[in-house]
Chains A and B, each alone.
Chain A
Amino acid sequence: MRKEIICVGSGGQGIILGGHILAEAAGIYDGMDVANSGRYGAAARGGVTVSEIVISDEEIDYPKVIRADYMICLSQEGYDTYKHVLKKEGILIADSFYVRKTEHENTKLVPLSDIVRQKSGREIGTNIAALGAFTRITGMVSENAIREAVKKMVPRGTEDFNLRILNIGLGNIIHEIEVSNREQDLQEEYISILESDTQW
């Protein structure tokens, strides 16, 4: 079964590395066939970055995303630019701080950057938290595979930090909301996270 995933965000958020890690998890640790590619322009940072991953249990013919089954999104601009690539019934996993307005019914807003910021004072690692949330929500890769891939691919010396962040993504801090009353739910979400004392 062929499944297509598209990761979008702003330059610098680690979208490309996130895509590499996800592909490594699926291809090397879960033994699936996998194709991963990016889209990039001439700019070094900023702008919309994209990583495409195709996962299949048989030989992948066309290696690019045609209509994505899943989207991981870390910026509103990224969503607006690539929302047409995600199937109508596709699952959107988005950062609740950066993505406010979505059209897909299966939207799962996760306070990824909020949590990472609260725990470490910076937002570095939001991409890893997103991979955790993706793994938990979709089951497209195994927990073990994504752990091993993160351990292997992140810069040396940051393995523990990133594995802790991954665990948060893999945890229960996920909030599914309706499109109509998102604003209200977001408020509640923020309050509950900020009041929580999540163990690392």
Chain B
Amino acid sequence: MSLLLSGNEAIVEGALASGCRFFGSYPITPSSDIAELMSLRLPILGGKFIQMEDEIASLGVCLGASLTGLKSMTATSGPGISLMQEHIGFAAMGEIPCVIINVQRGGPSTGLPTYPSQGDVMQARWGTHGDHPIIVLAPSSVRECYFLTIRAFNYAEKYRTPVILLSDEILAHLREKVELDENVEIINRDFPKASPQEYLPFDSSYDVPPLAPYGSGYRFHITGLMHDETGFPTADSEQVQRLQARLARKIREEDVRDVDARFMNDARICIFSYGSTSRSGLRVVNELRRRGEKVGLLRPTTLWPFPYEEVKRLSRKVDVIYVCEMNLGQIVGEVERAAECNVGFIGKADGTIITPEEILCKIYQ
């Protein structure tokens, strides 16, 4: 069935289709409609909605719920995602599946509450301290808000990891058609095969150890400290190294990386863009193709892990890559790391979307 939904509404549909049954958040523009809708929909499905006192507690309560076996999600923006960094680290360390929706708005600080931005790209990867695994997805349409939310839950469950969905104010309130898919693949976390007595929550013989739900007879310890296979703290360098190495390899990059390439086969100019900004990029590509220009679009839907390989491969076939993002230069640094061609940058952080005209002007200046 075709529905006309906003990006925020599509995220809610995607979460519910994934089996999300717990949502804890603190309202903040432009993410609040996700909370509002979740508060209406979840109780009907037997799920739980709770509005917490702040964003730190919001993610905290989601992590607790997730440990009892519920698929959990929170949604926030700007200052809220900054507050959540501590618990994102805890989720990475405790290997607790959860989905965090960040509807990006202008920053830093309170910034521009009702205007879009893509200023949280590096924060999404490196906002919490220490080396840690994380997956970050970036939808560019309402349809993708739905499907990438489902994918976010699947990755969270499959890899026992926090997954961040980087939306933005434009997508949040953009209304487009979505075909909800009832047969979409849903992944649930593995239940341990070991008995409660033998269960190791951080069993290093797995890349991703099965996670027993609290309350099912499996008793174990979760801590933000470095820990051994039982979950109790350790500072033994050998054990720490083993845990670090497993955390670093457990997300299979080739499984998670995803780029959408349009007209790239014979392109000489590549526009590299993600999220809502890539819609401007696609417009430019469509227009220039009509004029016979060899221009293509490369759009990562998974931002982290970053598609270094794909960028490197494509950069050998083009003369220049233009990176377009609504910030003063974040992902462009990663493109430069990977690319073997010239890289141009088109970015701004004034609260307005980069228009197709602005991209065209930059290309032909």
A33-B177, A34-B177, A62-B282 in contact; A42/B113 too (CB < 8 A)? Answer: yes
Among A19-27, A86-94, A167-175, the stretch that binds chain B is A19-27
A40 on interface, CB distance cutoff 8 Å: yes
Among B167-175, B207-215, B310-318, the stretch that binds chain A is B167-175
Q: Which of A76-124 contact B (CB under 8 A)?
A: none
**Minimum C-beta distance from B261 to chain A (A):** 15
Q: Which of A22-46 contact B (CB under 8 A)?
A: 23-24, 27-28, 33-38, 40-42
B246 on interface, CB distance cutoff 8 Å: no
| B175 x A36 contact (CB < 8 A) | yes
Q: How large is the interface on A (under 10, 10 to 19, 20 to 34, 35 or more residues)?
A: 20 to 34
Q: How large is the interface on B (under 10, 10 to 19, 20 to 34, 35 or more residues)?
A: 20 to 34
| B355 x A66 contact (CB < 8 A) | yes
Nearest chain A residue, comparing its CB with the CB of B176? A35
Bound CA span A66–B358, Å: 12
B4 on interface, CB distance cutoff 8 Å: yes
Per-residue CB contact flags for chain A residues 47-68 toward chain B (1 = under 8 Å, else 0) read 0000000000000111110100
B353 on interface, CB distance cutoff 8 Å: yes
Q: Which of B262-278 contact A (CB under 8 A)?
A: 276
Chain A residues positioned under 8 Å from B2 (CB to CB): 27-28
B114 on interface, CB distance cutoff 8 Å: yes
B280 on interface, CB distance cutoff 8 Å: yes
Residue of A27, A64, A66 near B4 (CB, 8 A) is: A27
Nearest chain A residue, comparing its CB with the CB of B279? A62
| A61 x B174 contact (CB < 8 A) | no
Nearest chain A residue, comparing its CB with the CB of B262? A61
Chain B residues positioned under 8 Å from A40 (CB to CB): 114, 173
Chain B residues positioned under 8 Å from A62 (CB to CB): 279-280, 282-283, 355-356
Chain A residues positioned under 8 Å from B141 (CB to CB): 63
Bound CA span A33–B4, Å: 10
**Minimum C-beta distance from A22 to chain B (A):** 11
B286 on interface, CB distance cutoff 8 Å: yes
| A63 x B174 contact (CB < 8 A) | yes
Bound CA span A41–B353, Å: 15
Bound CA span A24–B279, Å: 21
| B356 x A37 contact (CB < 8 A) | no
Bound CA span A120–B3, Å: 33
A35-B175, A40-B114, A61-B286 in contact; A24/B4 too (CB < 8 A)? Answer: yes
**Minimum C-beta distance from B274 to chain A (A):** 15
Bound CA span A187–B334, Å: 65
Most buried by A among B2, B113, B176: B176
Residue of A24, A27, A36, A42 near B174 (CB, 8 A) is: A36
Q: Which of B174-210 contact A (CB under 8 A)?
A: 174-177
Chain B residues positioned under 8 Å from A20 (CB to CB): 4, 175
Nearest chain B residue, comparing its CB with the CB of A31? B2
Chain A residues positioned under 8 Å from B276 (CB to CB): 63
Nearest chain B residue, comparing its CB with the CB of A20? B175
Bound CA span A42–B141, Å: 25
**Minimum C-beta distance from A41 to chain B (A):** 6
Chain B residues positioned under 8 Å from A64 (CB to CB): 170, 353, 355
Bound CA span A64–B141, Å: 12
Known: A35-B176, A37-B175, A62-B283. 16 other contacts (CB 8 A): A27-B4, A27-B176, A28-B4, A34-B4, A36-B4, A36-B174, A36-B176, A37-B174, A40-B173, A61-B279, A61-B283, A61-B285, A61-B286, A62-B355, A63-B170, A64-B355
Contacts from A to B (Cβ < 8 Å): 20, 23-24, 27-28, 33-38, 40-42, 60-64, 66
What are 14 A-B pairs with beta-carbon distances under 8 A? A20-B4, A23-B175, A28-B4, A33-B177, A35-B176, A36-B174, A37-B174, A37-B175, A60-B176, A61-B283, A61-B285, A62-B282, A62-B283, A66-B357
